[in-house]
Amino acid sequence: MAILIGSLVPAALLLPTPQLAVVDLPATWQVSALLVCAMVSGPRAGVIAAVAYLSMGFINLPVFHGGGGLNYLLEPGFGYLAGFVPAAWLTGRLAHQTGMQDLSKQCFAAGAGLLVLQLCGLLNLGLGALFGRWSSPVLSLIMQYSINPLPAQIFLCIASGLLAVILRRLLIVES
């Protein structure tokens, strides 16, 4: 089965994609995809997915919000990308604890992952400001990268928790 799916991926990359109407939120869907992957598949698969995603982005595949490439290491938003790995691990770990099958607990796991992601991003912004790496004031960067997208990200955590509960039941994932 894995060979079949793996052989279809290159073919899917070559097909033209239709334009889909997607809700425009002040946040990206990347975080939600990461959280759902970790909640459904567990901490190990979540970390592997996060590392694969970051690797694809750093080798210039346009998977990040604004494209891809190693230049992202020097961007103010890099801390949020780096936070994908610990966020995936914590989210998957919490979601797969005994008794974590219901919606509120899956949403809690997603929220904990979002918190880790935000802390990593804020740490990067703070250190960058301390060493004079950013041309913009740190408060405007915090507004841009943390505060402004936060309400949408919280909403997406709830949606991710709901999707994870549904997928876990369909795939018979037990905690």
pLDDT in tens, 38-85: 999 999 999 999 999 999 999 998 888 778 889 989 999 999 999 999
Do 139 and 102 contact (CB within 8 A), yes or no? no
The dihedral built from the CA positions of residue 125, 129, 134 and 140, taken in this order, carries a sign that is: positive
Cα torsion for 10, 81, 144, 25, to the nearest 10°? 40
Residue 154 token pair:
């919280």
pTM recorded for the entire structure: 0.82
Phi, psi of 92 (to 5 degrees): -65, -40
Among candidate residues 72, 67, 50, the one with its CA nearest the CA of residue 116: 50
CATH code of the domain occupying 29-170:
1.10.1760.20
Tens digits of per-residue pLDDT, 130-143?
999 999 999 999 99
Of the spans 26-30, 75-79, 100-104, 112-116, which averages the highest pLDDT? 112-116
